[in-house]
Amino acid sequence: MANSIAQEYDAIAASYDKLTTSRLYDELIIDALPERCERVVDIGCGTGALTQKLSQRCREVIAADVSIQMLQAARSRSYSGTVLFHQVPAENIGQVAEAGSCDAIVANRVLHHVTDLDQLGTSIGSLLRPGGRLVVLDLARTGRFRLPLMARAFEYWLYVAALLLKAIGSGHLVRRLRDVVAERRFSRSSEWQRHISNEPDFTWSRLVAAMRSAGLHVCSRRANVRFRFGVATKREA
């Protein structure tokens, strides 16, 4: 599964930054980091947009992805602090650093690709120090748990409407309209359609259950009609 996901992301790497609305969640994720965050792991770093911002906040960032093309794009960016890159699937993220050495782990719209959430939880739990945080934003459901086609279309346009209403309030309507159009065009590409057709079965509640089984205390909420946001804290010894 990891190899197939890597190949799919290799195919879309050149166009990935067209998903411009992804930056709307960066501030949400960064604000949830621990006040003192020396080392953070970025699971599924993609082309490094969030990694770049994390490097301004943390002394060391470990950026991991299964796609070599994504990692090559991420390496081409400029960073403020130390950034270490690893090609590794999310389930094996425990391999990138010593046990108990990380203050935070972030995962932005990537964990729905993981087929073994229990193994993922074990890996995350091993990396985090006591009191460390997993900060995650992801879809509510994928695979066979996705809504029927008409319901998905309704959900999508509610999502777009929410983005545009926020843009009106912030005075960035034209910019956000361009973002939505660019993302819409990208989402219709054959590479992206093939990618989402191979998504495994996933629900947010299953992810939460796996994190709790790994000894993490989870607080989560709805980010919007399509996405959930959560902070999972490793319990103190």
- The domain ranges of the chain are 2-234
Quick one: 130 exposed, middle or buried, by C-beta within 10 A (0-12, 13-18, 19+)?
A: exposed
Write down the pLDDT at residue 23.
65
Nearest to 227, CA basis, from 163, 174, 132, 178: 163
- pLDDT (0 to 100) of residue 22: 62
- pLDDT on residue 199: 81
pLDDT exceeding 70 applies to what percent of the chain? 90
Residue 96 CA to residue 15 CA, distance in Å, equals 27
pLDDT at 3 exceeding the cut of 80: no
Rounded to 5 degrees, φ, ψ at 232 are -115, 125
- What percentage of residues in the chain have a pLDDT greater than 90? 57
Average pLDDT, integer, range 109-117: 91
How much is the average pLDDT of 66-85? 92
Considering the domain delimited by 2-234, tell me its CATH architecture: 3-Layer(aba) Sandwich (3.40)
Q: Is the Cβ–Cβ distance between 199 and 140 less than 8 Å?
A: no
Distance in angstroms (rounded) separating the CA atoms of residues 59 and 57: 7
pLDDT digits (tens, 9 = 90+) for 147-179: 898 998 898 899 888 888 888 888 888 888 887
HEC profile for the chain? CHHHHHHHHHHHHHHHHHCHHHHHHHHHHHHCCCCCCCEEEEECCCCCHHHHHHHHHCCEEEEEECCHHHHHHHHCCCCCCEEEEEECCHHHHHHHCCCCCEEEEEEECCHHHCCCHHHHHHHHHHHEEEEEEEEEEEECEEHHHCCCHHHHHHHHHHHHHHHHHHHHHHCCHHHHHHHHHHHHHHHCCHHHHHHHHCCCCEEHHHHHHHHHHCCEEEEEEECCCCEEEEEEEECCC
Model confidence pLDDT, tens digit, residues 11-56: 545 555 555 556 678 888 999 999 999 999 999 998 898 999 999 9
What value does the mean pLDDT of the chain take? 87
pTM of structure? 0.87
Pairing of strands 60-65, 128-139: unpaired
Q: How far apart are CA 184 and CA 4, in angstroms?
A: 24
